[in-house]
């Protein structure tokens, strides 16, 4: 497969419009990235403590379209797609993305998104949060991939089941957005790296760089040409 030519503005697909997807989408859009936000869920009262982008006005509405509407109201570009992200149905919303960000609460989706990005030569960021911590994996073509490290979806509980401290998703989402913006600008420092926050209250992030796994079914024969330019403009705000 050939690489997608560089393009401005850059485009990203954000999978998941919840606690992680909120800060990720708002941050990327504020930096000028055009978004498609894919999520099949609706806003529930129990979501509001960690999904700060929503209010009681959003209850019962699809998260994807409500978050996209918030992005647009803030001057950004976003389209909400109400469906569960599946690699076999990406033509309409992910095929032209420069970057895929998984902010879902579903291990199967994370593996599918990473595998799809690797197979199609796209950069990707996979974010996860649980209880007091979380992790962010960044990948670009030519580097070790999500499946090199984790191999298969495990039996880990989701934050919907096991809970997550509200501020943790904001912190992990912000970290994922910062790394995603760096990758879109050509920064490869975090490619093939897992950033782990064990406990946001007590520990500093750990940066774990890992090697490609020989024979990895996802990346061993994947294209290595990056799909986006190594020098692309992302707006950086002045002041605080």
Q: Which residues bind Zn ion (CB under 5 A)?
A: 145, 147-148, 216, 218-219
Of the two residues 168 and 219, which places its CB atom closer to Zn ion in the complex?
219
CB of residue 224 vs Zn ion: minimum separation in angstroms? 12
CB of residue 126 vs Zn ion: minimum separation in angstroms? 13
Residue that the structure tokens 């580097």 belong to: 143
Of the two residues 164 and 216, which places its CB atom closer to Zn ion in the complex?
216
Of the two residues 149 and 169, which places its CB atom closer to Zn ion in the complex?
149
CB of residue 148 vs Zn ion: minimum separation in angstroms? 3
Of the two residues 34 and 115, which places its CB atom closer to Zn ion in the complex?
115
Nearest to 2 by CA among 231, 213, 233, 223: 223
CA distance 211 to 209: 7
Task: Mark out the alpha helices in 131-200 (DSSP H runs).
Answer: 146-150, 159-162, 166-184
CB of residue 22 vs Zn ion: minimum separation in angstroms? 29
CB of residue 99 vs Zn ion: minimum separation in angstroms? 18
Of the two residues 174 and 223, which places its CB atom closer to Zn ion in the complex?
223
Kindly report the backbone phi and psi dihedral angles of residue 220, in degrees, each rounded to the nearest multiple of 5, phi listed first: -60, -35
Task: Mark out the alpha helices in the chain (DSSP H runs).
Answer: 21-30, 63-73, 107-119, 146-150, 159-162, 166-184
CB of residue 201 vs Zn ion: minimum separation in angstroms? 33
The H helix count followed by the E strand count for the chain is: 6, 8
Kindly report the backbone phi and psi dihedral angles of residue 207, in degrees, each rounded to the nearest multiple of 5, phi listed first: -110, 115
Q: Are 121 and 44 in contact (CB under 8 A)?
A: no
Of the two residues 145 and 172, which places its CB atom closer to Zn ion in the complex?
145
């Amino acid at each position: 497969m050939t690489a997608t030519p560089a393009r401005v503005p850059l485009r990203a697909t954000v999978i998941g419009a919840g606690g992680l997807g909120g800060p990720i989408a708002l941050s990327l859009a504020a930096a000028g990235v055009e978004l498609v936000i894919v999520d099949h869920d609706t806003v529930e009262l129990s979501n509001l403590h960690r999904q700060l982008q929503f209010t009681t006005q959003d209850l019962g509405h699809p998260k994807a379209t409500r978050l996209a509407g918030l992005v647009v109201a803030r001057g950004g570009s976003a389209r909400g797609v109400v469906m569960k992200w599946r690699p076999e149905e990406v033509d309409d919303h992910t095929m032209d993305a420069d970057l895929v960000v998984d902010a879902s609460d579903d291990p199967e989706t994370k593996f599918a998104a990473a595998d799809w990005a690797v197979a199609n030569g796209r950069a990707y960021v996979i974010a996860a949060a649980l209880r007091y911590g979380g992790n962010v994996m960044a990948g670009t073509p030519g580097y070790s991939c999500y499946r090199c490290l984790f191999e298969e979806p495990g039996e880990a509980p989701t934050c919907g089941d096991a809970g997550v401290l509200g501020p943790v998703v904001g912190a992990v989402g912000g970290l994922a957005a910062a790394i995603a913006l760096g990758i879109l600008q050509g920064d490869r420092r975090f490619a093939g790296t897992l950033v782990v926050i064990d406990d946001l209250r007590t520990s500093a992030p750990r940066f774990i760089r890992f090697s490609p796994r020989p024979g990895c079914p996802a990346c061993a024969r994947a294209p290595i040409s990056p799909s986006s330019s190594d020098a692309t403009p992302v707006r950086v705000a002045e002041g605080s």
